[in-house]
Chain A
Amino acid sequence: MPVTAANSVDGGLLVGAGIYKRFGALTVLDGVNFTLAPREAVGIVGPNGAGKTTLLNVLAGGYRPTGGTVSFDGADVTTFNAAERCRLGIARSHQIPRPFGGMTVFENCLVAAMTGGGLSGQKAYRCCVEALELCQMLRIANRRAETLGLLDRKRLELARALATEPQVLLLDEIGGGLTDEEANLLVGTIQELRRRGLAIVWIEHIVHVLLRVVERLVCMDAGRIIADGEPDKVIADAAVIDAYIGGKAAQ
């Protein structure tokens, strides 16, 4: 796959076409075209303020774009909010895990399955068990969420997203703050999700972790996609290095 700043907008499972997002005078997304194919895992990197999380929010429905369209499985979902998109199959995790305190791990998942995924009864129960098993949390399903450590909070964040039965998983820095050993455990889980055919978009600063999962890397800078392609080629791309290091960095 060549390194290019332009993406095809055809044939994707989740497509953002010509996305603009402005906050007052500030343009955070400046004409972004992003396509995620079914079963594909894409990493998004970029310096601070590049627009990565904003793009994720626009794809997930947390933000309505100022311009452009978002489509999912061939249907225009631009005007759908996050809850509506979640019911369709777009789930996301947040950078800072915020489990429902006072509820158990299982209850946290059940809220996601029922309100996020629109599931009920045995179906909701089964989805939660499966999500917790995948995230290696079944053994602590009855623990109160507020007693969890950072890794288990991240796992619960993932399990809650999975309990909605998504087709697309949007991950926002889920590896941040973990030790190497913890990150390895989480990578193992996400690799298993890939094997099961889930399409994934993953924003992460720890690129060496990201590269163990994704087959395609997108680099953003100043609200635009500046490189898109095979991870090794994107990382070696001069525009990417300039975006991070600056054009006049140590030569």
Chain B
Amino acid sequence: MSLLSVEQLDARHGLLHAVRGVTFAVAAGETLALVGANGAGKTTLLRTVAGAHKRAGGRIVFDGADVTAIPAYARLRTGIALVPEGRRLFAGMTVKENLLVAGAYGRPGSWNLDTVVEAFPLLRARINSRAGNLSGGEQQATAIGRALMTNPKLLLLDEVSLGLAPIAVEAVYRSLDTLIKAGATIVLVEQDIARALGVATRVACMLEGRIILEGRAKDMTREQVTEAYFGLKREQRATS
């Protein structure tokens, strides 16, 4: 059974139909990478699943329960955590405070200050620094750590490598790789397709609000992804 099941989801930004009847499922322990050009609808889809963007239609079932109508904070308590694009940390608070605030509103579980710092060692020396004073990589680690503090069953990651120096991207992905190997369930939006394909078990390529290519990452050919990205073949589905 799928941990997350999204059925015919629609979302709009005013006149723009940003997500158009999207259906996909994520099994527990799976990492799904959502890729696609700018404006394809990836971030809106992720935010709609998290409850941070209002849906215009469709249904979201998480862990066996219909969560379509419940607000974002309540979805967090069912186990859905979003790491938003641009991190959105509480800049005036320390790393520790950012983490503790999230922990206070999340679910009980094995993630706590110690385990987060263990997963993101670069935070150890910065734990009492203001989040606004951190480097991009440290901020991203804090943002992912903040989501983990809620003890999620599903982690939604939006553009974790965006704006980071290559060395910081490496560090963030090393930590993500550890999480994935430990069995985390992740939906990842990533511009760096090679990077996304490197960690994902499944890939869905979006174009103009729709998923036009979906399949196992290891079965995906370079040509398939390129064609989907360019929108040269519509409604193409790889073996899933």
Contact = CB atoms under 8 A, between A and B. Distances in A.
Interface stretch (B105-113, B120-128, B192-200): B192-200
Given A250-B197, A250-B218, A245 B226 contact: yes
B182 interface: no
Contacts of A207: 230-232
A178 B207 CA distance: 11
24 contacts: A48-B38, A150-B16, A177-B208, A178-B208, A205-B40, A206-B207, A206-B231, A207-B230, A235-B230, A244-B229, A244-B230, A245-B225, A245-B226, A245-B229, A246-B193, A246-B195, A246-B197, A247-B194, A248-B194, A249-B222, A249-B225, A250-B218, A250-B220, A250-B221
Q: What 10 A-B pairs come out closest when comparing CB atoms?
A: A246-B194, A207-B230, A205-B37, A150-B15, A177-B16, A208-B231, A250-B220, A48-B38, A249-B194, A248-B194
Contacts of B195: 246
Contacts of A247: 194
A122 interface: no
A205 B41 CA distance: 13
B88 interface: no
Given A48-B38, A209-B231, A250 B225 contact: yes
Contacts of A177: 15-18, 39, 208
Contacts of A140: none
Contacts of A241: 222, 226
A205 B38 contact: yes
B164 to A, nearest CB: 13
Interface in A193-243: 205-209, 235, 241
Interface residues of B, number: 29
A57 to B, nearest CB: 16
Main secondary structure of the interface of A (DSSP, over half): loop
Contacts of A178: 208
A48 B15 CA distance: 23
A184 interface: no
B72 interface: no
B34 interface: no
Nearest to B232: A208
A48 B218 contact: no
A121 interface: no
A179 interface: yes
A21 interface: no
A176 B207 CA distance: 10
